[in-house]
Amino acid sequence: MNPKEEMYLWAKDLWPITRSLTGDGVRETLSYLKQLMPSLKIHNVQSGSRAFDWTVPDEWSISNAYIDDEYGNRIIDFSENNLHVVGYSDQIDLWMTLDELESHLYSLPDQPNAIPYVTTYYAANWGFCLTHKKRKLLKKGKYHVVINSKKKNGVLNYGELIIKGESDKEVFLSTYLCHPSMANDNLSGVVVTMALAKWLNSLEKRKFSYRLIFIPETIGSLAYLSENLQYLKENVVAGYNITCIGDDRCYSFLPSRKGLTISDAAAKHVLENTDKNYKKYKWLDRGSDERQYCAPGVDLPIASIMRSKYGEYAEYHTSLDDLNVITESGLNGGYQAIKRSIEIIENNITPRITVHGEPQLGKRGLYPNLSIKDSTKHVDVRTLMNLISYCDGENTLLEIANIINKPFWELLPLIETLIKHNLVIDEN
Ligand code: ZN
């Protein structure tokens, strides 16, 4: 099966799992991913551990939750939709009036058919989320409110995959797995990252080593950084935070804090040559784990390639962000964009021509003088000559691609041919 079909099927399998920052849903998701990639290592971080300025919260689990009216009619049932309960809600079993219940209900008047996604990770509280349509039907009277949840001193889990290359220098890919049943944010990131892992693992050789992590958002990246900061700072040369990468409506780019890394340049080149109308966000629009990866003193070279960005599409953080929002082609477009960016990072040599003057291509069979009318053998000679004319040992291949306005992936086979004929060497 190709990654395009696989990614969507994985998302379907992972869809029903109740995920949060910690707990069984994260473990179930990680063990599913481990089946796909047995070298995935599952780590534990103890509740209460310090992660820079933060503390890893207690582990949260929930078995069921509901609200019944005084006649025993079930008004809200967690088993029907895991967004119905505010994430990290305290245990509760109480009778109360509608007035008392109101301050614990969350709905969206502007999106009356959507159940909002609400969490209370760091403040003890409880609540239910429901469609505004349903909320308006609630009548005065008494309600039986039950949440069977538990917080305990346990662990925060995350997955880590190391794929070795020729160099110890690393490309770092991070995605999060803490959202319950929502698709673009965040199952798309999980399945695209897994497809990239399988692709990277299948390569015969890699210049760089690869580090892929599946973590809960924010506290997970903080915990991971606090365990590995020095090593990451010394070895990570590029990387991406992978989220919101499964719908078909647009491509989006969000830079690293300084915006000057190879990850930024590669991503912009790929998107420019994939869809000229891609959306360009600024660091000021950040909202995911790049907040930690690019924070002062951390400053890893991490950018983001997305489809519809978090916070920018109508279904975001609601029950409407379902498996209809993501598509096979949407996931595949996101996957291809990051794959191509990685191919740039892997192959961005600084080529220098080894002859003075233009090389004589004809004697090497590189000039299509006899087959010029045969379109299947047509070589874009002008592109080849433009490429050669910038092989001065000063420009990288990516810089040349930008100067001559051709996609990197069209130039790469040409440069490989030139290297094979000893016409080009890598200046570095
Ligand atoms: Zn989110």
| Predicted local distance difference test score (pLDDT) of residue 378 | 55
In the predicted structure, residue 418 carries a pLDDT above the cut 70:
yes
294 and 146 inside one domain: no
| Predicted local distance difference test score (pLDDT) of residue 261 | 98
In the predicted structure, residue 371 carries a pLDDT above the cut 60:
no
Query: Is the distance from CB of 58 to CB of 87 less than 8 angstroms?
Result: no
Domain total of the chain: 3
State pLDDT tens for residues 258-306: 999 999 999 999 999 999 999 999 999 999 999 999 999 999 999 999 9
Which of 152, 175, 190 represents a domain boundary (last residue)?
Answer: 152
229 and 365 inside one domain: no
Q: What is the Å distance from ligand 1's center to 138 Cα?
A: 29
Q: What is the mean pLDDT of the chain?
A: 96
| Domain harbouring 70, CATH code | 3.50.30.90
State pLDDT tens for residues 8-46: 999 999 999 999 999 999 999 999 999 999 999 999 999
Helices (H), 203-310: 219-235, 262-272, 290-293
205 and 128 inside one domain: no
Which residues are found with C-beta within 5 Å of the ion, ligand 1? 185
Q: What is the Å distance from ligand 1's center to 80 Cα?
A: 21
Q: What is the Å distance from ligand 1's center to 120 Cα?
A: 13
201 and 266 inside one domain: yes
Q: What is the Å distance from ligand 1's center to 186 Cα?
A: 6
Measure the CA–CA gap between 290 and 287, rounded to whole angstroms.
7
333 and 406 inside one domain: no
Q: Which residues of 80-98 are buried (b: 16+ CB within 10 A; e: fewer)?
A: ebbbbbbbbbeeeeeeeee
Query: Is the distance from CB of 300 to CB of 219 less than 8 angstroms?
Result: no
Q: What is the Å distance from ligand 1's center to 262 Cα?
A: 26
Q: What is the Å distance from ligand 1's center to 210 Cα?
A: 25
- For the chain, percent of residues with pLDDT exceeding 90: 94
248 and 99 inside one domain: no
Structure tokens at 88: 């990290």
39 and 64 inside one domain: no
What would the mean pLDDT of 320-340 be, rounded to a whole number? 98
Which of 83, 117, 152 represents a domain boundary (last residue)?
Answer: 152
Q: What is the Å distance from ligand 1's center to 107 Cα?
A: 17
139 and 196 inside one domain: no
Which of 347, 372, 391 represents a domain boundary (last residue)?
Answer: 347
| Predicted local distance difference test score (pLDDT) of residue 380 | 80
231 and 373 inside one domain: no
Domain housing 358: 351-426
State pLDDT tens for residues 66-111: 999 999 999 999 999 999 999 999 999 999 999 999 999 999 999 9
The model scores a pTM over 0.75: yes
Query: Is the distance from CB of 279 to CB of 251 less than 8 angstroms?
Result: yes
Confidence of residue 333 (pLDDT cuts 50, 70, 90): very high
Confidence of residue 372 (pLDDT cuts 50, 70, 90): very low
357 and 270 inside one domain: no
Q: What is the Å distance from ligand 1's center to 311 Cα?
A: 8
| Predicted local distance difference test score (pLDDT) of residue 365 | 86
Spatial CB neighbours of 308, under 8 Å, sequence gap ≥ 6 = 184, 244, 247, 249, 250, 252, 316
207 and 102 inside one domain: no
194 and 281 inside one domain: yes
Q: What is the Å distance from ligand 1's center to 40 Cα?
A: 24
| Predicted local distance difference test score (pLDDT) of residue 256 | 98
